[in-house]
Structure 1
Amino acid sequence: MAFKISKSETYQRQIDVVTVSESGRHEKENFKVTFRRCTNEQLDELRKKTGREVLQDVVAGWSGITDDDGSALPFNEENFEALLQIPAVSFALVKGFWDSIVVAQEKN
């Protein structure tokens, strides 16, 4: 397959999150996040930032996140900040972003 140099500005990735339920059992849930593509120079700058700062720079949207009633939560600053308060989610997002970069580099 030929390499296409022109890419969209964003890409989606499934994020798997393991949380502990009220009964103490581990539950695996997932959602899709939209990340902004970065150049090598931008990645160098991101490596100097905290995980939270990285996410604030690269997350552009999501799907599959709902409220307690099962209604889809829109991507906005307030909901994004609430999501980042959940340690398992923020860890999974940071890992998902950096893994997407590493996998892309390994395949090339």
Structure 2
Amino acid sequence: MRRIYEPPEPDDGLRVLVDRLWPRGIAKEAARIDEWPKGLTPSTELRTWYHGGGAYEEFRRRYEAELDVPEAAELLDGLRKAAREGPVTLLTASKTPGESHARVLQDLLTG
């Protein structure tokens, strides 16, 4: 898991943007994104709630519930398969990746 603002590294493997919105100030060519599965991102309502002061553990619980819906579950399974086959780098614009949806996805992929 890395911030999208960091330059790509040769060992990144599959680079997956896990934010719903395209990050400001990044050109699509420079980002070197392989996948952008918007169906894996938190809903607008959940993002708004969390950024409005919601607690991370409650955000995590609600986001994991959103990931149980069929479309998201299928995308998550595809990401798990990719991670078994080689490196996967989750990219986010979050200023605090350790307390973001990217961390939840990372934990689900590695746990």
Task: Note whether the superposition's TM-score is higher than 0.5.
Answer: no
The structure with the greater share of residues assigned to strand is: 1
Structure of greater Rg: 1
The structure with the greater share of residues assigned to helix is: 2
- Give the structure, 1 or 2, with the largest relative contact order (CA under 8 Å, sep 6 or more): 2
When the two structures are superposed, what TM-score results if normalisation uses the length of structure 2? 0.30
When the two structures are superposed, what TM-score results if normalisation uses the length of structure 1? 0.31
